[in-house]
Structure 1
Amino acid sequence: MAGWLTTHVLDTARGCPADGIAIWLYRVNGNSHRKIAEAVTNADGRTDGPILPEAKFEIGTYELVFHAGDYLRRTGQVTAEPLFLDQVPIRFGMSEGAHYHVPLLLSPYGYSTYRGS
């Protein structure tokens, strides 16, 4: 069974999906990062398809970088520069051919994630 990766962003401060957030996906090998995909969240806070589809899935270490700063500025949640959270990186491993879902729960001064379904 091949795997795939999905993600979404929820704005926990406002209680809604976070739209318009650019997300970059990197393959990590030691100190080397190689960008392999990018997407932007839609009105539901999700990407329109898997950020890593089955055809490109490989077991390994990855990093999602959520470009949250523009969203936080656009929604008026932050004004001071530099932002406390601008780019939010989440590094994780995928060790089996399965569906991985890595969401970001975002507020201006904190975030969390988990392996979803």
Structure 2
Amino acid sequence: MATPVPAGLARRQFAFTGLALGTAALLPRGAAAQGADTAPRPAQASGPILLHGVSPRLTVHALDTFHGTAATGLRIDFARLSDGQAQPLRSIVVNANGRSDEPLLVGDSYQAGDYELLLHVGDYFAARQARLPAPAFLTQVPVRIRVVNVAERIHLPIQFGPWSYTYSRGS
């Protein structure tokens, strides 16, 4: 007849066994046996994003989180910033996929510098006849970015609603 193991000791044995098995599963095959260096290494893809045949460019993707759709019809004014002043480059209207039909910057126009995208979210929600409190909380959303390395592709996913917005650097 087996001797009963106190509950606290059984839980500890179970936890240590699980920890040992989990650690062994994470090690590369044979690393423990060969004494291989398992120190963390930096990410291998730390350079510019290279897409086969796609030149470096700046693109945007706008998503309406209030309606849960692409921001079709959203107007974005795009400008270069110089000495704190916006120098307009172009205005675009977001297509059915939530993107501009063409990159904002590509080829010779893709230069290092500071840029601003001004999203006209108040007009967008008015055109969609969204039922929102008046006056609107957000009317225009400025997104300011800096292009440093023109060999890299920059994609800006922008999510917005009537009360908030977020954006990040994508690739």
Provide TM-score, normalisation by structure 1: 0.90
Q: Which runs of 4+ in 1 moved over 2 A?
A: none
What do you get for the CA RMSD once the two structures are aligned?
Answer: 1.7
The answer for the alignment partner of 1:54 in structure 2 is: 107
The answer for the alignment partner of 1:80 in structure 2 is: 134
Q: Which has the higher contact order (CA 8 A, sep 6+)?
A: 1
- Counting aligned pairs with the same residue, the percent is 35
Structure 1 contact 10–104 (Cα < 8 Å) conserved: yes
Structure 1 contact 6–51 (Cα < 8 Å) conserved: yes
10-19 or 72-81, which deviates more = 72-81
Mapped partners of 1:38, 1:51: distance in 2: 10
Greater share of helix = 2
Tell me which of 93, 96, 100 is aligned to 1:43: 96
The answer for the alignment partner of 2:86 in structure 1 is: 33
Equivalenced residue count is 116
Greater share of strand = 1
Tell me which of 143, 148, 162 is aligned to 1:108: 162
TM-superposed deviation, 1:3? 3.4
The answer for the alignment partner of 1:11 in structure 2 is: 64
- 3-state SS of the aligned residue for 1:45? coil
- 3-state SS of the aligned residue for 2:138? coil
TM-superposed deviation, 1:77? 4.0
The one-character-per-residue Cα deviations of 1:56-103 (angstroms, maximum 9, x if unpaired) are: 11101111111111111222142512x211111011101001211112
Larger Rg: 2
TM-superposed deviation, 1:55? 2.4
Q: Given residue 95 of structure 2, which amino acid in structure 1 is its aligned partner? A: N
Mapped partners of 2:57, 2:86: distance in 1: 19
Mapped partners of 1:42, 1:106: distance in 2: 16
Mapped partners of 2:81, 2:131: distance in 1: 32
Which residues of structure 1 form unaligned runs of 5+? none
Structure 1 contact 26–64 (Cα < 8 Å) conserved: yes
